[in-house]
Amino acid sequence: MLIRQAEKRDYAELLTIINQAALAYRGVIPADRWHDPYMPEEEFLSEIASGVIFWIAEGDDGLLGGMGIQDKGAVALIRHAYISPSAQRKGVGTRILRHVAALTTKPVLIGTWANATWAIDFYQRNGFMLLSRAETERLLGTYWTIPDRQIETSVVLADAKWVSEQQRKE
């Protein structure tokens, strides 16, 4: 498996994977936050324009999944992490996550839907800590541009660097 930065020629296939994998969220995230397709092309391109850099895992038969990273000054955000349903539970997500998180020396934060327990479990297995409701709301309001309703229904996880920095501040 090769992990590399996504190029324009990868965008259509990556967007297909995002929307296929996102079907797992249907019925899990609030109905008022769901739309079909989950990520329209315009939104995908807008995320890239706002600084999200996508990295992809590529196998012999094509793309296996992708994950974005976005520099937000004091922190880096993991954004839009999706693995093709046929490649899930095979270590692809872990490999991409470790690769992308290693690209920065900044603390790393991840936001996901509060009811997406499989996603939360995945990040926790990979060393991220689920943050308090108050901290989640503060961070989502600071580093993400999302509606209040999404803030209400999301969680934030942080890496050891972020946790260590917060403990030093206390």
Taking only the tens place, the pLDDT of each residue in 11-40 is 999 999 999 999 999 999 888 888 899 999
Measured CA to CA, the distance from residue 145 to residue 83 in angstroms comes to 24
Q: How is the chain split into domains, by residue range?
A: 2-169
The pLDDT value given to residue 143: 97
The pLDDT value given to residue 153: 94
User: How high is the mean pLDDT of the chain?
Assistant: 95
Tokens 């872990």 correspond to 94
Phi/psi-derived region of residue 138, left when phi > 0, alpha when psi is between -120 and 50, beta in every other case: alpha
pTM, rounded to two decimals: 0.94
Who wins on pLDDT, 167 or 65?
Answer: 65
Taking only the tens place, the pLDDT of each residue in 47-66 is 999 999 999 999 998 999 99
* CATH of span 2-169: 3.40.630.30
Which band of pLDDT confidence, cut at 50, 70 and 90, is reported for residue 136?
A: very high
